[in-house]
Amino acid sequence: MEGNLTAITEFIFLGFFDLQDLRPLLFILVLLIYLVTVIGNSLIVAVTVADLVLQSPMYFFLRNLSVLEICYTSAVIPKTLSDLLSERQAISFLGCAAQMYFFLLFGNSECCLLAVMSYDRYVAICRPLRYSLTMSRKVTVSLAAAVWIAENMVALEQTVAIFTLPFHGPNTIEHFFCDVMPVLKLASSDTSLNDIINALLTVAFIIVPFLLIIASYVGILAAILKMRSGEGRHKAFSTCSTHLITVTLFYGSCFITYMRPSSSGSVDTNRAIALFYTVVTPMFNPIIYSLRNKDVKEALKKLLGWSRTSEC
């Protein structure tokens, strides 16, 4: 019987179907945020490459984070912008698979990279005499490469596991991009194994990195409290605060989205949360680091020529 069924060749997004009148405004708002995200993170990449002061492991990882933010939001937003101007919000079967693959690759990579960055801060504050050896150039490049390679394999395997399932209809996705659960709901066969795999991957690439971050910052806090110098405590806390804000924003949206029951939340709520973690959160990275990190702020001024102007 299943052999006579026709496999679907495209999916239809219902993400903004009920917001006909607001689409032009949404398009302008999302486009502006996307441009700020791409330009801001590109500037972070540029200054951490060009400025000799920003060549430590912390800024190497920050550069990787900025690249991830650009790629992460670009996996979703260009298609979303196109759909906001289109009457028919459709995506091909292979296009949906590609979008999911890149979304998983960059999203999961960011989870692991944030954990690596917290370990870097832990070594810098708690083991300062061994920092240059522990976080050598070879080690930092190896850690970043391991994140990219491992997450590439995981994203590819997860995407293949989903899109080799039979899809015979319906083909309407209650979302504005190809996220795992909305697509999995449309499969025409039992998805219990996929649900188990997704749960395990959530533990491995969201919860475990988060626990590693917590463990690192417990050690950092203990070390800061032992410092006798108030200036030293302030400097250590200031160094970590930017990373902590980034972690809070990213993991906060992750937990709200993926750690709550699938039946909870209205369509409007789910859409608002998804817009936040795909559009808004990536924009905050350059803003946070440029406002709260003195070295990045000075490097940006030099790159843009502001320091010379202010001197004149």
Q: What percent of the chain has pLDDT over 90?
A: 47
Q: Pull the structure tokens for residue 106.
A: 């960059």
pLDDT at 276 over 80: yes
Of 14-28, 95-109, 242-256, 257-271, the least confident: 257-271
pLDDT band at 17 (very low <50, low <70, confident <90, very high): confident
Identify the CA nearest to 247 among candidates 216, 291, 222, 221.
216
Q: What average pLDDT is seen over the chain?
A: 86
**Amino acid, res. 74:** S
pLDDT at 263 over 60: no
pLDDT band at 260 (very low <50, low <70, confident <90, very high): low
Compute the distance between CA of residue 282 and CA of residue 36 in angstroms, rounded to an integer: 9
Q: Could you tell me which residue, 171 or 307, shows the higher pLDDT?
A: 171
Identify the CA nearest to 176 among candidates 12, 13, 10, 27.
13
Q: Pull the structure tokens for residue 1.
A: 């019987």
Q: Could you tell me which residue, 5 or 251, shows the higher pLDDT?
A: 251
pLDDT band at 286 (very low <50, low <70, confident <90, very high): confident
| Model pTM above 0.85 | yes
- Report the pLDDT averaged over residues 223-233: 79
